[in-house]
Copies of this chain bind each other. A is one copy, B any other.
Amino acid sequence: MSNQPSHPALLIPGPIEFDDAVLQSMSHYSESHVGPAFVATFSETLSMLRKLFQTTDPAAQPFVISGSGTLGWDFVAANLAEAGDDVLVLHTGYFADSFADCFQTYGVNATQLKAPIGSRPQLPEIEKALKEKKYKLLTVTHVDTSTGVLSELKSLSELVRRVSPETLLIVDGVCSVGCEEIEFDKWQLDGVITASQKAIGVPAGLSIAMYSGRAIKAFQNRKTPPASYFASFKNWLPIMQNYEAKKPSYFATPSPQLVHALHTSLTQILSKPLSERFAIHRETSQKIKQAVADLGLKQLASNPADQANGMTAIYLPENVTAQQLLPSLFKKGVVFAGGLHKEIAPKYIRFGHMGVSVTDAKRGDIDHAIKALETGLSDVGYQKA
């Protein structure tokens, strides 16, 4: 239950449902972006992000910038690579194609290592690719929102460190930060970019990232200036460092309301051990995946080890279209998303299960959605074979 007006439960892979207190923070009265009250809020927010990413390395650098999650790609491409550099993009769906596009925009050569839909590139082929060419960066989509495929970061990082130690490991964590285990320091990640509106549980509008000291040093050793103005480490690094040190500072006006909402959500998230948060996302995901299997349906990610814990991408039964099923679910008070992977978009739907819909059992969102999926399929004439 929430204090929000009655509305269908938004169970797409972001934006997700938001907690009442987070939404209330969105309507915070106006404050100066350089006044002491907001500067303190921003400082605490940046410090809390370090905890969310499980980093205690003072050289690591959090960023909170007004923009969509997509803006994070520009930050990576325009600051950590230079025109002519080679980068290796592990492909698990729609988002690797777009990230590669972003690199090309900045003159960076993106080589994609593609896996069949619903799968992910395997370590031996990644090792082979890393040995063939010197890559400045390797990027991986932790959870591909288009397919629900989860990538494994720990063994990937070990591989990169062993085979190509100078390559920076960059994680697109838009659909994973806040619901999938990420140990920034221990796994020696160099950059994790994400957005506010998924498992972090804050309305869309913030591009959020953590970079390692190694990544910052690589930026400082560039031969050419950053290739973007708004998405420039040069412009934002001193601002982020000053805000965290509680010194007012200006490059572009941040959004006090969104930062307040992020402060509220991070305070809630960090009030319990992160391990509990990841565990309940895993358990809830298992329950949903079991229900999907019980309905005789298949997931895009066929291998259980490759299945995300914050979303499930489900193949529609033969003869059932998303145009039939999604409106039927909507009438039952549940919003799922259609397919996004261009090769098979009409053939599947996506069920997002992150944040308060998972952690706040009193809302009943997940049980309600599973029930709606069962009856909705039955309404459109589907019967398990």
Binding site for B on A (CB under 8 A): 4-5, 7, 10, 12, 14-18, 23-24, 26-35, 65-71, 73-74, 77, 101-102, 105-106, 195, 197, 203-205, 225-232, 250-258, 335, 337, 340
Q: List 17 A-B contacts (CB under 8 A).
A: A4-B29, A10-B32, A14-B253, A17-B30, A24-B27, A66-B66, A66-B68, A66-B204, A67-B68, A70-B229, A71-B230, A73-B229, A77-B229, A195-B253, A197-B255, A228-B228, A230-B231
The minimal Cβ–Cβ distance linking A56 to chain B, given in whole angstroms, is: 30
Which of these, B17, B257, B337, B340, contacts A205 with CB under 8 Å?
Answer: B257
Which of these, B32, B73, B203, B250, contacts A15 with CB under 8 Å?
Answer: B32
When distances are taken between beta carbons in the complex, the residues of chain B under 8 Å from A69 are 252-253
CB pair B5–A30 under 8 Å, yes or no, is no
**Besides A101-B229, A105-B229, 16 other CB < 8 A contacts?**
A4-B29, A5-B29, A14-B253, A30-B203, A33-B204, A35-B335, A66-B66, A66-B68, A66-B71, A66-B205, A67-B230, A70-B252, A73-B229, A74-B230, A203-B256, A204-B255
The minimal Cβ–Cβ distance linking A176 to chain B, given in whole angstroms, is: 16
Q: Copy number in this complex?
A: 2
Specify the chain B residue showing the minimal Cβ separation from A38. Answer: B15
The minimal Cβ–Cβ distance linking A101 to chain B, given in whole angstroms, is: 7
Smallest CB-CB A-B distances: 5 pairs: A70-B252, A205-B255, A68-B252, A23-B27, A102-B229
> A66-B204, A229-B106, A255-B205 known; A29 and B23 CB under 8 Å?
yes
Interface of A is mostly: loop
Specify the chain B residue showing the minimal Cβ separation from A22. Answer: B27
When distances are taken between beta carbons in the complex, the residues of chain B under 8 Å from A68 are 65-67, 230, 252-255
When distances are taken between beta carbons in the complex, the residues of chain B under 8 Å from A205 are 66, 205, 255, 257-258
Residue among A4, A102, A105, A205 with the highest chain B CB neighbour number at 10 A: A205
Q: In whole angstroms, how far apart are the Cα atoms of A335 and B101 in the complex?
A: 45
CB pair A67–B66 under 8 Å, yes or no, is yes
When distances are taken between beta carbons in the complex, the residues of chain B under 8 Å from A256 are 15, 203-204
When distances are taken between beta carbons in the complex, the residues of chain B under 8 Å from A74 are 228-231
CB pair B253–A335 under 8 Å, yes or no, is no
When distances are taken between beta carbons in the complex, the residues of chain B under 8 Å from A253 are 14-15, 68-70, 195, 197, 204
